[in-house]
Amino acid sequence: MDVLSDAVLAMRTGRPHAARVLRVAPFGRWFAPVAGAGFHIVLEGSCWLVPPDGPPIALGAGDVAFLPRGCGHGLADSRSTPLADASAPLATLTSSSGGAPTPNASTVMVCGAYLLDRSRTHPLLADLPEIIHLPARVGQHSGLRAAVELLGDELRRPQPGGDAMLPALLDALLLHILRAWFDDAGKRTPSGWAAAIRDPAIDAALRAMHGDPARPWTVEELGARAGLSRAAFARRFTALVGQPPLTYLTWWRMTLAARLLRGSDVPLAAVATKVGYTSEFAFAHAFKRAFGLAPGKFRQSSTEDTLLPLDAI
């Protein structure tokens, strides 16, 4: 699996929320922070998104605003409209109006939230800004535009199979948003994760590690996958990713182990094998160094109740 997919899967928990919302001018509301990631998409009309810091952001039809860390923010029809405190967070305030827009509706939006476990945020996602604004531009991010259109249509006209369709569309939307941002950011910045996943050599090495985390990778082997010498690969990987290749591999293995321990009843020995440790003792030592708890105690302290299959990774 590729690094972006794995980064999202490592954090996702529960079901995402979304609704089609009509906002009639004048409107102004401040939304409390949420333990997840929120988004707003303007289908018709326009509005202003007010961040906790910085100037308001104008949102027009087709624009997407994504809040990776669920920061508090406001939505208003104009910059001068005061913001009233919302009585509930974003995930519960967004309610579908159903049917066609009314003639006096100033703005039609799709709003929603993803629930995330922030205990082991992938550094790729930690690189994201507080607010990502993806303006609608002709000829750009066609996949994102298609996902927005499908989601808007599904919420406007609920049909049989909607309970299965909506979560799938929301998952697709999240990945298209992240793809679009990393694509844009990778063109602007010469370093960091946005550049790393656009670099063919580093992306090849990351795919190798994520595709087979249990393999006893060496820097030389990973360099060969990247088409670079050992030294050149190590320098390039560290410069873009922010840590040496094997340090990152260990971090990712521990993240996978924590996910299995939280969400499955896979035996500890099997967890150790899945993340590349032939010795359960060595795995337990590495895990405790990373999390401050032995694997068994970590599992007992978890409140996660969703079981994963043995072949989850």
The span from the CA of 176 to the CA of 194, in Å, is 14
Q: How confident is the model at residue 263 (pLDDT cuts 50, 70, 90)?
A: confident
Backbone angles phi, psi at 237, to 5 degrees: -60, -50
Mean pLDDT of 289-313: 67
Distance CA 174, CA 181 (A): 11
For residue 82, give the DSSP letter: P
Question: Which option is the CATH number for 3-188: 3.30.460.80, 2.40.110.10, 2.60.120.280, 3.30.70.260?
Answer: 2.60.120.280
Contacts of 279 (CB under 8 A, 6+ apart): 272
* SS3 at position 246: helix
Confidence (pLDDT) at 17: 86
Q: Given the structure tokens 């049989």, which residue do they identify? A: 160
With 60 as the cut, is the pLDDT of residue 96 above it?
A: no
Q: What are phi and psi of 75, to 5 degrees?
A: -130, 135
List the domain boundaries for the chain. 3-188, 200-301
Fold entry, domain 200-301: Arc Repressor Mutant, subunit A (1.10.10)
Which long-range contacts does 209-212 make (Cβ < 8 Å, 24+ apart)? 209/245, 209/248, 209/249, 209/252, 210/1, 210/2, 210/3, 210/6, 210/252, 211/1
> What's residue 168's pLDDT?
92
Looking at per-residue pLDDT, the higher value among 185 and 309 belongs to 185
Please provide the average confidence, as pLDDT, over all residues in the chain.
Answer: 86
Predicted local confidence at residue 265, as pLDDT: 87
Exposure letters 4-38 (e unless 16+ CB within 10 A, then b): bebbbebbbeeebbbbbbbbeeebbbbbeebebbb
- Per the structure block, which two tokens stand in for 91? 């995930």
Question: What digits encode the pLDDT tens for the residues 212-252?
Answer: 999 999 999 999 999 999 999 999 999 999 999 999 999 99
- Of the candidates 233, 199, 203, which has an alpha carbon nearest to the alpha carbon of residue 218? 233
Residue 288 corresponds to which tokens in the numbers above? 């405790």
Q: What is the pLDDT of residue 117?
A: 74
Mean pLDDT for the stretch of residues 66-70:
93
Model confidence at 126, in pLDDT bands (50, 70, 90)? confident
Contact 276, 212 (CB under 8 A): no
- Report the C-alpha gap between 250 and 213 in whole angstroms: 9
Check pLDDT > 70 for residue 196: yes
Distance, CA of 252 to CA of 209 (rounded, Å) = 9
Provide DSSP, 92-161: HH-----SSPPTT--EEEEEEEEEB-GGG--HHHHTS-S-EEE---TTS-HHHHHHHHHHHHHHHS--TT
Q: Quick one: pLDDT at residue 163?
A: 86
